[in-house]
Structure 1
Amino acid sequence: MNKDGWCDCFVVLERKRKRSKERDIGRERETKRESDMALPCSSIMTRSVWSYNLESEFELIRSVIALYPFISMDTEFPGVVFQSHPAFRQPQNNYAVMKANVDGMHLIQVGLTLSDSHGNLPTFGTSNRFIWEFNFCEFDVTRHPHAPHSIALLQRQGIDFDKNRKYGVSIVRFAELMMLSGLLCNNNIQWIVFHSAYDFGYMVKILSQRFFYMQPFLPPNLYDFLQLVKFFFGYRVYDVKHLIRFCPNLHGGLDRVSEYLGLDNSARKSHHAGSDSLVTLHVFNKIKTLYFNTEMDLPKHAGVVYDLGMP
């Protein structure tokens, strides 16, 4: 797509975002703002999103996004079929391997957790707190490329691929509603992720395909990819995997970091995108309190995608 075409797309997307924001004005604000951080995990409910409730769930998200602008995200996908070579771990090489995997596979789940600056989650006037888990219909385990051990792990954790095929969300419709929700191209939103190259890889792939009429492939080079991440998700992106490099004794994956920090994950459904997005938020809030104390400690790390760098 030429420069003028990209600019036209940006203008259209910005107009959609502004119209969405205008519709949000005047919505009822929630009044119950107790912190969920000290509540038992049983009070946090996952809102499973399928084709039949996709629109209504995005309406709920849109109604509270102004109050809960801190959003953590996680994805589940069919594993990795192309592996990187230990001798080639530079950002451009990492991107090439990630692109090869994302281009050839399909997204399975996206998890979103919305919170305010104190870690409170939406309640919608109930005694529960809510997070979201979107299930997609495109992946067919009998036809599409995947890593068998990754699929077996997801099945052991309770993901039903037949149900996803029958009742899952269309990627195209999800991309449309993501844009109209106000979640994207919104400088008031802060995104929180953990080792996010593949998370953003799949999201950029589906969003670019829908709004820039691109083929379902990532850009050929890392720079263009990072520019798209910045365009859709803004400058306030925090990859916790990058942040823990500056936290003494913290290393490893999400489970290990969470355990070291003493977080209670007893009710967590591991390798479910919704639950993992919640744990990502809790880890972020914990290390922010422990290791990033001054006003400028955290912002200087914004925009870095672990293993890929920043725009």
Structure 2
Amino acid sequence: MSCNKRQSNNPSLTLKSRKLYFHQPNPTPLIISSRFRTLICRSPFAVSCVNRTHRLSAMTDHQLTPPQIFIVNVWSDNLEEQFKEIKKIVKDYPLIAMDTEFPGVVFKPPPVELYNKSIQEQQYKTVACNVDRLKVIQVGFALMNDAGELPDNRVWQFNFHFDLDLDANAKASIDLLKSCNIEFEHHKTRGIRMSDFGSLLTTSGLVCTEDVTWITYHSSYDFAYVLRTMILKPLPLQEVEFVVLVKDLFPVTFDVKLIAEQCAFDRRILEVRTGGLQKLASIVHVPRYGTQHQAGSDALLTGQTYLAIKRRCIKVGEPQGQREWESIQQDVVNNMYGLAKIPTICQTLLYL
């Protein structure tokens, strides 16, 4: 899906790809007058949309999220206030879907570090080489309960300090983020310091607890950048040390990309190995709220896709669906796509 154009100061209604898009500056919710709503609802196009919605509801058991989603933009001046709010509600919303936006992949590890290494170890070396020398731009948290409900329909988007003139970046990645309305001028003047975010996250009740479940998609960079804000030093040299450290801080994690590879009950899901999160979400009929390639929107889409796959697995696999889902979770828990699996890590630890 292409990124939306920059929002104007006035609400506008446009027709694009046979869908209605309402553009409204955040965080004010969209209010449609009853007269205008009546005119829309009586149009032939609206009737066809309603019919399509009914067909969609019959196709999936996933309950669509209410259309008014508030993406709370967090900057340095409201960081502490928002973490206090999150700390209050995490017990009631213990599923945390996470996404990060970062300035691309810029550096390559020296060839000597890749010699005689497994593919997973080489991938970790690339992750560490970049995360140690680059700065995260956004982190998104979507807190949910088991029903997929959000606290007052809110999603949090943390915006970090980033200076395009000084901080290393890949031009193609920055151009993409600019086209998706990442406001780099604000990141330069109002952005969050990594140390401030890491300090508040450490004491937030979100980490070092098995009561919280973290949901991600292709998560090695996500966890690496968030981990970096807490330890404020280079990532571990060895992949095994990194995986163990992530497990200590985030005891229960699920990577949706790994889950999709285990979904033998649905061939369409099973075959989505290179299509990315957006394609996977479309297959399980999960709509996007917000702009693609912004951390808040991507975090929400990740969490809702996870729950949609879970419900489909349990329903399609009846009466053994619940058992099959538990088996899938056991296979992928605490593993990160592209890195070594936990059983391999445990075997490696025996020889350290």
Same fold (TM over 0.5): yes
| 1:249 aligned to which of 268, 273, 286 | 268
Tell me what 1:9 maps to: none
* Aligned partner (choices 295, 302, 308) of residue 333 of structure 2: 302
Provide the C-alpha distance between the structure 2 equivalents of 1:133 and 1:102, rounded to a whole number of angstroms.
20
Name stretches of at least 5 consecutive residues in structure 2 with no aligned partner.
1-61, 112-116, 315-320, 346-352
Q: How many residues of Structure 1 are paired with residues of Structure 2 in the alignment?
A: 260
Superposed structure 1 runs of 4+ greater than 3 Å apart: 82-85
Whole-angstrom CA distance in 2 between matches of 1:173 and 1:146: 22
Map of 1:1-311 to 2, 5 A cutoff?
A: 37-41=63-67, 43-82=68-107, 90-123=119-152, 129-137=153-161, 139-209=162-232, 216-234=233-251, 236-247=252-263, 248-250=267-269, 251=272, 252-265=275-288, 267-291=289-313, 293-295=321-323, 296-300=326-330, 301-309=332-340, 310=342, 311=345
- Which one has a bigger Cα radius of gyration? 2
The one-letter amino acid of 1:307's match is G
Partners of 1:72 and 1:83 in 2: how far apart?
A: 29
Q: Which residue of 2 aligns with 1:126?
A: none
Task: Give the distance between the partners of 1:152 and 1:218, measured in 2 at CA.
Answer: 28
- Name the aligned partner's letter for residue 169 of structure 1: I
CA distance in 2, matches of 1:89, 1:274: 34
**Which of 1 and 2 has higher RCO (CA within 8 Å, sep 6+)?**
1
Contact 2:64/2:286 (8 A) holds in 1:
no
Q: Structure 2: how far apart are the matches of 1:40 and 1:233?
A: 29
Q: Is the 8 A contact 1:193 1:238 kept in 2?
A: yes
- 8 Å contact from structure 2 (residues 160, 191) kept in 1: yes
**Superposed displacement of residue 298, structure 1:** 3.8
Q: For residues 49-92 of structure 1, give each alpha carbon's deviation from its aligned partner in whole angstroms, at most 9, with x where no partner exists.
A: 0111111101110110100000000000001123699xx87211
Aligned-partner Cα distance in 2 for 1:89–1:148? 30
After superposition, the C-alpha distances for 1:119-155 in whole angstroms (9 at most, x for unaligned) are 11102xxxxx101000011x22112221100000001
Inter-partner Cα distance in structure 2 for 1:177 and 1:249: 41
Across the aligned residues of Structure 1 and Structure 2, the Cα RMSD in angstroms comes to 1.9
CA shift digits 1:171-208 (9 cap, x unpaired): 11111110111001011000000000100111122211
Q: In 2, Cα distance between the equivalents of 1:83 and 1:245?
A: 28
Equivalents in 2 of 1:116, 1:94: separation in Å? 33
Q: CA deviation at 1:268?
A: 2.8
Deviates more, 1:281-290 or 1:256-265: 256-265
- The 1:61/1:164 distance shift into structure 2, 3 A limit, reads same
